[in-house]
Amino acid sequence: MNLSTLKNLQPMNNFSTTLLKWYSHYKRELPWREENDPYKIWVSEIILQQTRIVQGWDYYLRFVERFPTVADLANAAEDEVLKYWQGLGYYSRARNLHTGAKHIVNQHNGNFPRQYEDILKIKGVGEYTAAAIASFAFNLPYPVVDGNVFRVLTRIFGIHTPIDTNTGKKEVTTLANKLIDKEKTGIFNQAIMDFGALQCTPANPNCEACCFAVFCVAKQKNLQSILPIKSQKIKMRTRYFYYLRIRNQGNTIIQKREKKDIWKGLYEFPLIESEKELSIDEILSDVFLKKMLKKCTYTVETVSPTYKHQLTHQLIVAQFVTLAVTKGNFVIDTPLLSVSETEISKYPVSRLTERFLN
């Protein structure tokens, strides 16, 4: 490719042409790239919402192999869907896929809707995902506007409006609508996302070899580290989790997280949550633990090292305390379950618990 030729193109009038020429040389090979089945495109887009491609690739292949159609997903048990999602995190995505599949079966006779407005009604589908499905599967003229697109357009066109504001989102979306190739919407959307992922990267973008370098405001004014602008800082919350792995004659206790919180629908050991660090004596004196083991004598087998698990707005600091019952039986009530230790692998658990079990 002759980069000098591309650099002479005007950014607005020739944006699509320039971008698609770049894409023809540098596009990524992805398992869903040539896919036109809207169901599989939907699954891939949901997986990639909070997941790097290198991690999501195998999950996608396994997921669509087990649930090859909307009906297969709709008819599956939630626990099985979550098990196939285990390790990806942000489990509301899996639950929304499951709910969305049921919606498509009930409202559209199992046929994936073809109109943008109908796609947008699927549980967990926002404007970005609806645009991706509509353009990739049906070539409808809706631009995808994700983190990559925000970065590319704010840098090239020098947009200083914070992208985490409604005004900023509207400004970039309006620009994307003007730039999109109405004849090749799916390819255009894939191209601009690849350009942000490979060329106009968050750190150390390859500006010297960029086809938009001559016209890029960020390149000309050295604003690559400034754009895009965000006005709000994410507030982090630290939570302390103390898991009780109670062993008794090959059995242990688990519970299913039901509250509207992280990891809803997943299983875990009984949990003591605190706003501060607890000593082992404070853990063993907890009312919850005493109630379960009031008819037992037990010993403390191990106290695990501290596990730190970073989420978007939260830091989970966790320890696993293993207790061995030496006499008597534990007392449990719903939602606690007594299961064989060899059966735990059949239950969907968080990545944090999976790390401990491994």
Q: In the chain, pLDDT over 70 holds for what percent of residues?
A: 96
pLDDT at 11: 56
pLDDT at 7: 41
Higher pLDDT residue, 268 or 294? 268
| pTM for the full predicted model | 0.80
Is pLDDT at 6 greater than 60 in this prediction?
no
Those residues with Cβ within 8 angstroms of residue 344's Cβ, 6 or more apart along the chain or in another chain: 252, 254, 267, 357
Q: What is the mean pLDDT of residues 316-339?
A: 89
Q: What are phi and psi of 230, to 5 degrees?
A: -120, 140
Is pLDDT at 288 greater than 50 in this prediction?
yes
218 within 8 A of 227, measured Cβ to Cβ = yes
Single out the catalytic residue among 29, 35, 45, 273.
45
Those residues with Cβ within 8 angstroms of residue 224's Cβ, 6 or more apart along the chain or in another chain: 155, 205, 207, 218
Alpha carbons 212 and 202: distance in angstroms, whole number: 16
- Catalytic-residue membership of 35: no
- Tell me the CATH number for domain 237-357: 3.90.79.10
* CATH number 3.30.200.20 given to 3-221: no
Q: What is the mean pLDDT of residues 109-129?
A: 96
Among 10-14, 67-71, 188-192, where is mean pLDDT lowest?
A: 10-14
Task: Show me where the domains of the chain are located.
Answer: 3-221, 237-357
Q: Which long-range contacts (CB under 8 A, 24 or more apart) does 75-84 make?
A: 78/265, 79/265, 79/347, 79/348, 82/265, 82/266, 82/348, 83/346, 83/347, 83/348, 84/59
pLDDT band with cut points at 50, 70 and 90 for residue 1? very low
